[in-house]
Structure 1
Amino acid sequence: METHNHDVPWESAYGYVQALKHGDTIYISGQLSHDGADLVAPAPVENGRATSFEQMEAQMRQTYVNAAKLLERFGATLDNVVEEVVYVLDIPAAFAVAGKVRKEAYGRPDPQVASTLVGTNGLAFPEQLVEIKFIARV
């Protein structure tokens, strides 16, 4: 079994690996929009809750970038992804940008990926609007 991390503080705080390859399958933990330990395009927060979803596109785009970085460590790309689950704080905001961002990330107008979009009332960080988990086959 092979594993990889981003070396960010929340990995040891929570206790998990970002990605794990078992046989010909790569499992990628929920990714979010960060560059190192800094969140990219954080949503404004009031009383512990995001107050705007305007950064959904930027966050989603960076999330795919981070997943691609992990896949690269296994010699894979987003072309190897067979399933994704997209968790978001606001379904309409996500749906408004997801098609565009996903098509750009996968590099085709019809991404060949089983995808599920799930609305949730909270994610790991209050500034976070989206988290995506992936399964890839090599």
Structure 2
Amino acid sequence: MQNNLNKKLGYLGTPWEEAYGYAQAVQVGNMLYVSGQLSHDSSGNLVGPAPLDAAGKVTDTSNMDVQMRTTYANAAKLLAQFGATLDQVVEEVVYVTDMDAAFAVAGTVRKVAYGTAKPACASSILETPRLAFREQLVEISFTVVLQE
């Protein structure tokens, strides 16, 4: 099938890009759609994984802060591939496995990530029982308007 949208794709080289089959970001015109980002290092290892019990349930959410900070840092690296920064984010959706743990750190983490006391983007936060990896506490997707 021919792609008439002239898409530009971005990747971070994580193992799940190939396994799941997707791009981390897709640019169409001056719009950039960023897949859910998470807390991983350059090798694809989860940073600050939450501890699990024998049944695979999270037992401690205190790593929400490190996971959220790393997720924003990874998003910034991905945006840089397109000559963009978090300043150009117009919308984010934050998915968390524990709303209380997220609210305890999200305000501070977001203000540092965006470099301002009032980040200039629309933001939604949703609680979900589980994300892609059991030890994962947060995932954030972004919509970005690129410079013309």
Shared topology, TM-score over 0.5? yes
Whichever residue aligns with residue 38 of structure 1, its letter is N
Residue 43 of structure 1 is aligned with which of 38, 50, 57? 50
Greater strand share, structure number: 1
Matched with 1:95 is: 103
Partner Cα distance (1:51, 1:2) in 2: 40
Q: Secondary structure at the match of 2:12?
A: coil
Matched with 2:3 is: none
Query: Displacement of 1:48 after TM fit?
Result: 1.6
Query: Displacement of 1:100 after TM fit?
Result: 0.1
Matched with 1:80 is: 88
Q: Secondary structure at the match of 1:96?
A: helix
Partner Cα distance (1:45, 1:84) in 2: 28
Whichever residue aligns with residue 97 of structure 1, its letter is V
Runs of 4+ in structure 1 displaced over 6 angstroms?
A: none
Q: Which range moves more in the overlay, 56-65 or 33-42?
A: 33-42
TM-score, length basis structure 1: 0.98
**Which consecutive residues of structure 1, in runs of 5 or more, have no partner in the other structure?**
none
Tell which structure's C-alpha radius of gyration is larger. 2
Identity percentage of aligned residues: 57
User: 1:1-138 maps to which residues of 2 (within 5 A)?
Assistant: 1-36=7-42, 37-46=44-53, 47-138=55-146
Question: CA-to-partner distance for each residue in 1:90-131, whole Å, 9 max, x for gaps?
Answer: 001001100000000000000001000100000000110000
Partner Cα distance (1:92, 1:40) in 2: 20
Q: Which range moves more in the overlay, 109-118 or 46-55?
A: 46-55
Q: Secondary structure at the match of 1:50?
A: coil
